[in-house]
Amino acid sequence: MKTFEEKWTAWLDGQLSGRELAEFEASLPDRAAAEAEKADVRKLGALLKRELGISAFANEEFFSHQLRERIRESSVPSAKWEAKASTWWTIPRLLWTGTASLAVFLIFTVFVIRDKNPAEKSQYLTQILNARVDPVVSPNATVSMFEVKQDRVTVLWTEGLQSLPADYAAK
Amino acid sequence: MAAPVRPRKLSGLNETGPAPVQFMQTEATLAQADVSDLDLVTRCQAGDTEAFDQLVTRYRIRVFGMIYNMVHSEQDAWDLAQDSFLKAWKSIKRFRGRSSFYTWIYRIVMNVTIDWLRKKQVKGGGSEFDDSIQLKHIEPASKTVPKSEALPHEMIERREIRARIDKAIAQLSPEQRAVILMKEIEEMEYHEIAEALGCSIGTVMSRLFYARKKLQNLLRDVYENI
């Protein structure tokens, strides 16, 4: 459904035909005024065309020359970019290298920490803690351990132990 | 001084005939006239800058004229025309030939120019008119009437009329300016204008309605007395 503005414009420009034209012209309250308006618009169009229709464009060849230069210049950055892209250090490679380096660092750190902690405990202590007290020889024997890591102090508390087996001796 | 370039029918890419004859007589050699826009575009898409140069030669006057009538500054029109053609070159590979090359480049021209006008309005800096030009290069109808030296009072009158028209057009929105100029100066069809502006035909007609109304109010005394 066309608005009045659209129909009016189409009528002024002679774009209405047939039934549409007849209906529109029949709907006009003042046909004579509408025709005068149409003539008015034509005069306006003629004035615009006469006054604005021609614009002098000096230095046409220089215009084209300048444009050619700009086109040439605009292609230079992309060439530079292509040159950069042709080097080994592409962005994906940089990312992969960075990720791999971080992973190696993390693995190394974990191993160092893991190796460092056991070294803080003596082998003897480990032996005692891992030992099972023979219930036949020492039925009431208990072994307890207290450790304060920041002070590097470990207390081994044994109760009811008659003797330590020979292979439990500290090495 | 450039020759008038206002072929009635725009050259369509789907047409097999050559580009507008009038234009070719003034802006291109006879050899170039045999090459259609489509052929040139195809060569451009293969990276042929020479072909693009030919297209520029064909359309530079019309593009410049259109922009000049919208911005009223020769320098700005020059820069905007340069930007438009550069943008066209950069996006020529995306041109699929569904419309004529002229309509396609007009769309770029309109986008560039309307964006510029909008930014200028937002900034609010500078005057709408470039008074330094004084229309010294504009010789209305100089190519359509027998050449004769205009009398001083006639020249003054012409300048005044031109200034009145420019001032009136400056009161239109950028979109209304584009529509009225494409319709009245370029004689483009509604659908071509709609395509160039990326809007519906109804919107084109509506903008044309309001643009005409405004210009009628502002310029009635001018065209009634001619």
CA–CA distance, A45 with A50 (Å, rounded to integer): 8
Q: What single string gives the DSSP state of each residue in A83-125?
A: HHHTSS--HHHHHHHHHHHHHHHHHHHHHHHHHHHHHHS-HHH
Contact B166, B180 (CB under 8 A): no
pTM for the structure as a whole: 0.62
User: How far out from the chain centre does Cα A4 lie?
Assistant: 50
User: How far out from the chain centre does Cα A44 lie?
Assistant: 55
Per the prediction, chain B carries an average pLDDT of 78
Write the CA distances from B13 to B91, B142, B194, integer angstroms.
17, 31, 18
- Class of the CATH-defined domain B21-224: mainly alpha
Per the prediction, chain A carries an average pLDDT of 79
- Write out pLDDT tens, residues A37-81: 999 999 999 999 988 877 777 888 899 999 999 998 887 765 555
Residue of B nearest to A78 (CA): B90
The residue of B82, B206, B210 whose CB has the most chain A CBs within 10 angstroms, and thus the best one to mutate to test that interface, is B206
Residue of A nearest to B61 (CA): A57
For the question of an ipTM over 0.90, the answer is no
Interface contacts A/B by beta carbons within 8 Å: 132
The residue of B50, B212, B224 whose CB has the most chain A CBs within 10 angstroms, and thus the best one to mutate to test that interface, is B212
Tell me, what's the pLDDT at B19? 36
Mean pLDDT, rounded, for B218-226? 87
For chain A, give every domain's residue range: 4-52, 89-120, 121-171
- CB atoms inside a 10 Å sphere around CB A132: 6
Tell me, what's the pLDDT at A121? 56
Q: Is the pLDDT of residue A6 over 50?
A: yes
Tell me, what's the pLDDT at B146? 40
Q: By the CB < 8 Å criterion, does B216 face chain A? A: yes
CA–CA distance, A157 with A145 (Å, rounded to integer): 6
Write the CA distances from A136 to A132, A141, A161, A164, B69, integer angstroms.
11, 10, 11, 13, 112
User: How far out from the chain centre does Cα B1 lie?
Assistant: 17
Tell me, what's the pLDDT at B124? 65
CA–CA distance, A74 with B86 (Å, rounded to integer): 9
Contact A159, A140 (CB under 8 A): yes
Q: State the first-to-last Cα distance of chain A, in angstroms, to the nearest integer.
A: 103
- Write out pLDDT tens, residues A85-95: 566 778 888 99
Tell me, what's the pLDDT at B3? 39
- Write out pLDDT tens, residues B107-142: 999 999 999 999 887 776 544 444 333 333 434 433
Q: Which residues of B touch A13 (CB under 8 A)?
A: 183
Contact B49, A71 (CB under 8 A): yes
**CB-based contact A52 B140, cutoff 8 Å:** yes
Q: Which of A166-170, B12-16, B63-67, B138-142 has the highest mean pLDDT?
A: B63-67
Of B90, B140, B215, the CB nearest to A54: B140
For chain B, give every domain's residue range: 21-224
Say which residues have a Cβ less than 8 Å from residue B33's Cβ, sequence separation at least 6: B18, B19, B21, B24, B25
**CB-based contact B69 A52, cutoff 8 Å:** yes
**pLDDT > 90: percent of chain B:** 53
